[in-house]
Structure 1
Amino acid sequence: MQQPHESPGTGAAPGRNGGAARVLVVDDDPTVAEVVSGYLDRAGYTVDRAGDGPEALARAAARWPDLVVLDLMLPGMDGLEVCRRIRGHGPVPVIMLTARGDEDDRILGLEVGADDYVTKPFSPRELVLRVESVLRRTRPATEARSLHAAGLAVDPAARRATRNGEELALTIREFDLLAFFLRHPGRAYAREELMREVWGWDFGDLSTVTVHVRRLRGKVEDDPARPRLIQTVWGVGYRFDSEPGGEAV
């Protein structure tokens, strides 16, 4: 793991109750867990640690975290199963750590609901910045104006989205992407633009955008295999097409 000399940022995002956010670090490598926990602690977070899946589930049940940093490769119960079980008890942002270089493994983490991933070896400072970014996006938005289009409704302040009146189970990334599309109907955006404009990333794997678009289509399209709302613009990226007379307002 890279360990830069500069200190991590000091603008730690607050937790759901306004105090220091609680981050659960789950990694069976004591060195990785210690370094990551140290950087997060110095950045102002309250940190819990677990070395395997069962311990992670027990710690999460005892003190529900504001975010989980979760290693994919854990003994006994892998990170994917831990993610599924934690998410089964309630919504919580998850950043997946993986030592594998295979894109399929990273995509699989996103498919089970991870909000972000970092590939080992990584800079602990970068991880802290990712944690800050994810947590800030979980806070209620100051914008109260709701968005409506094509049977979809998004309430940014409540972080709530519905389709034809039924609530959608969206991850943080999916919610932000849907809200962005509803704010900007009819315009094509490159994946690089979506990474920057929606999530504030100036770097990262573009396949992340592809996965989130695919997951979002599965929740808002009548037929995800033949998307009508989130259109692929070949050679460019994606465009949200609202129904005739149903432009976002």
Structure 2
Amino acid sequence: MISSLVLVVEDDEEIASLLERYLARAGYRTTKSSTGLTALAHVQRLQPDLILLDIGLPDMDGFDLLTKVRANSTVPVIFLSAMDDSTDKLLGLKLGADDYVTKPFNPQEVVARVGAVLKRTRGVAGNEVIRHDGIEVQLDSHIAIASTEKGRVELPLTATEFRLLVCFVRSPFKTFERASLLDACMPESDALDRTVDTHIANLRRKLATCGQEGYIIAVRGIGYRFARSTGV
């Protein structure tokens, strides 16, 4: 079996080489880039399984690069940043990042985060299709489809958004606490409850783009429920 390919986007050669060494020891294939432009070329040509993305790049910041990546790819992304600011973390997650690690970091922790995110991406196994109303989730192929007036449309979800949708579609009408959604979708992360809100907002937006508004209902003081809002 071919090991997962991790693209390390980091302009500090010492940090990039350190990450490559630890990832290689853990059995991952790696390639690296020191600029946003070369990273975009690598994403298109090599199709990595995961990206470790530094925010402070010389030609563009990591937020801009992630936006460009997300225009054509749902590859899992973990941000690396010297900025330990909740606003930056939430912005990264809103743009579609799957996790966020603050510098200075323990490289073993980064490797563990890589494994956890890849597990979330591929961890929903079995030849099973689950459905609720106009939403279909294909667990084996990791595909989510919305039925629209113009036909079936595949939803461009990140790994975390996909796992959230799986939780909801498996148990429609159930009210999930934020903590339980974190445990189910980001078990290795130290993310705060607000992180769930950001991923939920992204999932809502993508559902709405396909004409599937009103599915995710906020339950005040508890969390979220998956069922079409009646507007009452």
Is TM (by shorter chain) over 0.5? Answer: yes
**Residue among 182, 187, 194 paired with 1:195:** 182
Q: How big is the shift at 1:221?
A: 4.3
Which amino acid counterpart does residue 49 of structure 2 have in structure 1?
Answer: D
Cα gap change, 1:170/1:59 in structure 2, threshold over 3 Å: closer, same or farther? Answer: closer
Cα gap change, 1:217/1:91 in structure 2, threshold over 3 Å: closer, same or farther? Answer: closer
Cα gap change, 1:68/1:222 in structure 2, threshold over 3 Å: closer, same or farther? Answer: closer
CA contact (8 A) 1:23 1:45 kept: yes
The residue that corresponds to 2:67 in the other structure is 84
Cα gap change, 1:222/1:41 in structure 2, threshold over 3 Å: closer, same or farther? Answer: closer
| Deviation string, structure 1 residues 75-104 (Cα, Å, up to 9, x no partner) | 121112222333444332111112112222
**Residue among 86, 100, 107 paired with 2:90:** 107
**Residue among 228, 232, 235 paired with 2:221:** 235
Which amino acid counterpart does residue 218 of structure 2 have in structure 1?
Answer: T
**Residue among 121, 125, 129 paired with 2:112:** 129
Identity %: 39
Q: Does 1:117 align with 2:103?
A: no
Q: How far apart are the structure 2 equivalents of 1:142 and 1:199?
A: 17
Cα gap change, 1:61/1:239 in structure 2, threshold over 3 Å: closer, same or farther? Answer: closer
User: Which TM-score applies when normalising by structure 2?
Assistant: 0.86
Map residues 64-75 of structure 1 onto 2, 5 A cutoff: 64-75=47-58
Q: Does 1:58 align with 2:41?
A: yes
CA contact (8 A) 2:113 2:189 kept: no
CA contact (8 A) 2:74 2:157 kept: no
The residue that corresponds to 1:185 in the other structure is 172
CA contact (8 A) 2:55 2:61 kept: yes
Q: How far apart are the structure 1 equivalents of 2:189 and 2:84?
A: 21
User: Which TM-score applies when normalising by structure 1?
Assistant: 0.81
Indicate the RMSD between aligned Cα atoms, in angstroms. 2.4
Q: How big is the shift at 1:46?
A: 1.1
Q: Hey, which of these two has a bigger chunk of helix by percent?
A: 2
Bigger mean CA offset, 208-217 vs 75-84: 75-84
Q: How big is the shift at 1:141?
A: 3.9
Q: How big is the shift at 1:55?
A: 2.6
Which amino acid counterpart does residue 203 of structure 1 have in structure 2?
Answer: D
Q: How far apart are the structure 2 equivalents of 1:207 and 1:100?
A: 18
| Deviation string, structure 1 residues 181-227 (Cα, Å, up to 9, x no partner) | 11122222221211112332363232221110011111224899xx7
The residue that corresponds to 1:155 in the other structure is 138
Q: How far apart are the structure 2 equivalents of 1:96 and 1:223?
A: 28
Bigger mean CA offset, 69-78 vs 121-130: 121-130
The residue that corresponds to 1:45 in the other structure is 28
Q: Which runs of 5+ in 1 are unaligned?
A: 1-17, 245-249
Which amino acid counterpart does residue 98 of structure 2 have in structure 1?
Answer: D
Cα gap change, 1:67/1:210 in structure 2, threshold over 3 Å: closer, same or farther? Answer: same
The residue that corresponds to 1:146 in the other structure is 129
Question: SS in structure 1 opposite 2:121?
Answer: coil
Q: How far apart are the structure 2 equivalents of 1:50 and 1:23?
A: 11
Bigger mean CA offset, 131-140 vs 25-34: 131-140
CA contact (8 A) 1:140 1:157 kept: no
